[in-house]
Structure formats: structure tokens, C-alpha cells
Amino acid sequence: MVRYYSSIFEGPANNPNGQRQRSRLAELQEGNYHRATVICRFLTLSQDFADDEVEEKKITPLSDEQTRDIQVLKTYGAAPYGAALKKLEQQIKEKQASVNEKIGVKESDTGLAPPHLWDVAADRQRMSEEQPLQVARCTKIIQDEKDTEKSKYVINVKQIAKFVKPDVTYGDVGGCKEQVEKLREVVEMPLLSPERFVNLGIDPPKGALLYGPPGTGKTLCARAVANRTDATFIRVIGSELVQKYVGEGARMVRELFEMARTKKACIIFFDEIDAVGGARFDDGAGGDNEVQRTMLELITQLDGFDARGNIKVMFATNRPSTLDPALMRPGRIDRKIEFSLPDLEGRANILRIHAKSMSVERDIRWELISRLCPNSTGAELRSVCTEAGMFAIRARRKVATEKDFLSAVDKVIKGNLKFNSTATYMQYN
């Protein structure tokens, strides 16, 4: 550029226009020099400032506790964009459900594809090539060879666990308000708000024991809590863990917890835990029996998973005094929730809940009916509603009246009192 200007501005030395042009060229050259100097200084300062920022923003390594807390938050979807991703996944599931409903697709009860889509030869070839891949073994129960009858399939490996999607809400549970609040602190809060325990630096309770008379709503409350947390609910009957072969029950318990660890959030509900969790004793044969081995494996698994993890365990029994002290100690079962008989308000609430799905009169006095059912459980009150409907059916009416409920109380409640007072019942209880 300087050469270009100099070639243009050349002229006689005594020419005034030439002198002005040469002075202008000198000014331009001096201005370019100052401009270049300013740019160089700016670049130097920018580089120094960037170096200072890099030094200030050095990433410090996280501690083990912070890393563990981050993994816990990621597990429950509390990471950045977690809520948005969860909402998007829910929308995708709803779209898939609507599409399946419109095209008439019905999922199998066992979670497997229909039998006509099975390719056993390809599965065997894949098993020989990839050892980690396993095909579920199924047993076909042939009921009828008609096309209208569908054959049932039972999975041998996972037959002890019943994966159910609970459809029970808190509105379906009556007479257990205090018990539900305690269960929510044990199960719901650690799964939905784990950051509260992380901030305080404490471990949430691992498990809870629900005990009380039969029919007081222990299983119902457990299903309601599982529905609120949107967790996988696995119900295991205690008697199904008792096997005749040595080590079979312990293997089932071990595989059950391994399966639960693969879920995002899982609630394992052991119903009638007194079948395998009874106090240990000497059987006179010089060793423990199979039931005690199963209980020891259960205790080991309860100590083996993290309290902040995605597994919550609940036990239910109506004989808490027979359970082993090693199973009952804090750290394995942190909460013991008693389900007692409902009071007057609870009984009236239970009657209203069961009558919601019935065709009944509007002016029924539920408090009066509940006063006529002292010391009754929720199961007995449900039986009262069922019998009231039966009285209406016998009278060929479409609506159950208050008189039907009073007759049902006389039949169910007084009949149970008469049965309980017999010598045979007193002998076996």
C-alpha cells in the first residue's frame, strides 16, 4: 500500500501539490504504524488475559463422595435436562400406547413375543456365538386346542417374582392415613427427592416392616406407594422362596436382587415374610434347614446394597414376634409400621371408597353403618359392601339401599363374631 501511494504521489520537488501529497503519505504511514502497534498490544493483552482465565479455571478433581452423589442424582433423572428428557420419554410412551391401541396390538402377559414369531434355531445359534445372551426358558400350558383359547406361558427363571404395575392410588386407601405418611417418608421421598438426603449427608431408610392383623391394608398401601413413585413393583410371596432342593431358595433371593439392581427404581415387597424370616433354631439334625439358609441370604443381600441406591424393600407379616432379631435390627429394617384396626372415621371412609364403584342411594348414613361394625378390618368392610350388592341382586333392584347394607352388617359382622367364638377357631389361633 505504501508503494502504491508513493507511486501516485511522486512529483517535482518544487510542486506544492506534490509536497502536500508526500506529507499526506507520511501521515498515512505514521497512522498505519500506530494502528498496527495498537493491534499488536491488544492481541498481546488478550492473550495474557486468556492465559489468566485458563489458570483461574483449572478443573479441580471431584472427591469420591461428590462423584457418588452425582451418580445418585443421575440415577433418578436429576441431571441437567433430566426433567425435559423424562417428559419427552413419557410423550413417546403415550404415542406408542395410542398407536398400539388403534392397530389392535396387545402385549403378552409374560413380556415375550407371540409364539409364531419365535425363531428357536436362530436363538440357539446366537447363544453359541454370544455367551452372555440367554433365551428365557418357557413352559407351555396346553388348556384347549381351540383357536379361541390362548395358550399360557410361564417363565421358569422368574416365576417367583410378580411384576405388576400398581393401579392403586392414595385415594383408594382408607383408614391408614398415618401409616401412608410413614411409608412415604421411607420409600417415596428417597426415590423422588434424593437431593434432600445428599445435602444433609444422611442415608435414607433401606426397608420397612408392615405388621398388623390380616385385612388391614398392608399390601394395598405398598402398591399405592409404588404407583406414586413410578417404580417397578415386585411382589414375592414368602412361601415361594421355600424350595425342597438345597440352595435353591438362596439362589432365588440372589437373582431377585440382581434383577432389581438393573431397574431404574425398584420396590421389592415380601408378603408373609414369616415363612422364611422366622427365628433360627436347632432342628436336631446338626445343621440349619433350607429356610434358615434362605433367610441368611436375604440378610446378606440387605447389607449388600447402598441405602441411597434404587432398591427399596418392604416386608409384611401378621406375626412380627416370630421374626429373627438379625432381620429386624436397624440398618436392615429401619421402620416398623403398625397397621391397626381402623377407627370410626376410617371405617366410614373405607365404606365410601368401596361404594364409589357401586350403584347406591345418595342418602346412606355411612357413620351409622360404621358404628355397627366395631373392631372390623378393611377386608370385612369390603365384604359388607359386596353382600349389600348381593341383597340388591336377590331383590331384583338396580340400586343398593341402606337396608341392604344393614342386612349385610348382620350377616358378615355378626357371622364372623359367631365363628370367632367357636372352640375350633380358638384352638387353632
CA gap 234, 249 in Å, rounded: 17
Is residue 326 scored above 80 in pLDDT?
yes
For position 10, what pLDDT does the model report?
A: 45
Q: Are 122 and 133 in contact (CB under 8 A)?
A: no
Query: What does the pLDDT read at residue 116?
Result: 60
Measuring CA to CA, which residue among 330, 312, 306, 49 is closest to residue 183? 312
pLDDT band at 424 (very low <50, low <70, confident <90, very high): very low
Give CA–CA dist 370/231, Å, rounded.
35
The separation between the first and the last C-alpha atoms of the chain, rounded to the nearest angstrom, is 111
Tens of pLDDT, residues 224-283:
887 877 778 888 887 777 766 677 778 888 888 888 888 778 888 888 888 777 776 665
Q: Which residue has the higher pLDDT, 292 or 306?
A: 292
Whether 386 and 414 have beta carbons less than 8 Å apart is answered as no
Global pTM reads: 0.58
Mean pLDDT across the chain: 72
Please determine, for residue 365, whether its predicted confidence score (pLDDT) is greater than 80: yes
Q: Which amino acid is at 49?
A: F
DSSP strand E in 248-331: where?
266-271, 311-317
- pLDDT of 165-190, one tens digit each? 667 888 888 888 888 888 888 888 88
- For the segment 72-83, the average pLDDT, to the nearest whole number, is 67
Given this model, what pLDDT does residue 114 score?
A: 60
Grid coordinates standing for 241?
422362596
Q: Is pLDDT above 50 for 28?
A: no
Give pLDDT, residue 134. Answer: 44
Report the percentage of the chain scoring pLDDT > 70: 62
CA separation (Å) from 153 to 63, 114, 119?
A: 49, 10, 16
Percent residues over pLDDT 90 in the chain: 2
Higher-pLDDT residue of 149, 262:
262
Quickly state the pLDDT bin for 105 (edges 50, 70, 90).
low
Cα atoms found within 13 Å of the Cα of residue 262, Cβ hemisphere only: 4
Residue positions counted in the chain: 429
Instruction: Evaluate if residue 146 carries a pLDDT over 50.
Output: no
Q: Which of 1, 5, 73, 15 is nearest to 310 (CA)?
A: 73
| CATH code that applies to domain 344-428 | 1.10.8.60
140: burial class by Cβ within 10 Å (0-12, 13-18, 19+)?
A: exposed
Q: Is 195 strand, coil or helix? A: helix
Query: Is residue 270 exposed (0-12), middle (13-18) or buried (19+ Cβ within 10 Å)?
Result: buried
- Confidence (pLDDT) at 46: 55
For residue 75, the model assigns a pLDDT of: 65
Spans of all domains in the chain: 2-50, 80-155, 162-338, 344-428
Q: Measure the CA–CA gap between 268 and 60, rounded to whole angstroms.
A: 40
pLDDT value, residue 115:
63
Work out the angle between the directed axes of helices 402-420 and 378-394 (0-180°, nearest 10).
130
Confidence of residue 86 (pLDDT cuts 50, 70, 90): confident
Grid coordinates given for 378? 378393611
pLDDT tier, 98 (very low <50, low <70, confident <90, very high otherwise): confident
Question: In this predicted model, what pLDDT tens digit does every residue of 300-309 receive, in sequence order?
Answer: 888 776 555 6
**Three-state secondary-structure class, residue 106:** coil
Examine domains 162-338 and 344-428 and report if their fold is the same. Answer: no
Which architecture characterizes domain 162-338 according to CATH? 3-Layer(aba) Sandwich (3.40)
